[in-house]
Amino acid sequence: RLEKIWLTFGLAMLFVFLGILGISAFAMGAQPPSPHRHMIDPTRVQETAPFDAPGIKQVADGEYEAVMIAYAFGYSPNKMEVPAGSTVHFTITSPDVIHGFEIPGTNVNLMVIPGEVSQISHKFTKPGEYLILCNEYCGTGHEYMNTVIVVK
């Protein structure tokens, strides 16, 4: 009788243990460590898609994709334009050192790490000229490093 109780208890524990294992494996499989970042070879940024063709293009109604490179000391492309109300999906990396990617007055603020592809989206509702600035000290030209996105 006692053996039967222990056997049942043992089996129950085994199922609990397997259950936990299964759940954690599922959670890890379903969630990659950082869904919005992945690595490329920083020495081959200009040859690696989509960075072989930096620029902004419309991808859907009211949606744009901006492929950008932050380098010492500037951004490519160096000027962009979208209609007011557009959502812009930025994809950006660096071929050299760590740069910043900040659009003052918005919540866009990224650290751009060499070879790491970062993505952030922002909806530009108000027309105006939005400055994109580097806020990580990256060398002698740091303070001149900027670009602009014009919202019309």
51, 64, 90, 99: which one contacts ligand CUA (CB under 6 A)?
Answer: 99
**For residue 121, with 0-12 CB atoms within 10 Å meaning exposed, 13-18 middle and 19 or more buried, which class applies?**
middle
Q: Residue 55: which of 83, 88, 85 has the closest Cα?
A: 88
138, 147, 149, 151: which one contacts ligand CUA (CB under 6 A)?
Answer: 138
Q: Which stretch binds ligand CUA (CB under 6 A): 6-14, 32-40, 46-54, 136-144?
A: 136-144
122 vs 142, which CB is nearer to ligand CUA? 142
SS3 call for 121: strand
- Give the shortest CB-64-to-ligand CUA separation in angstroms: 23
- Whole-angstrom Cα distance, residue 98 to residue 93? 9
136, 147, 149, 151: which one contacts ligand CUA (CB under 6 A)?
Answer: 136
Residues that bind ligand CUA (CB under 6 A): 73, 99-100, 134, 136-138, 142, 145
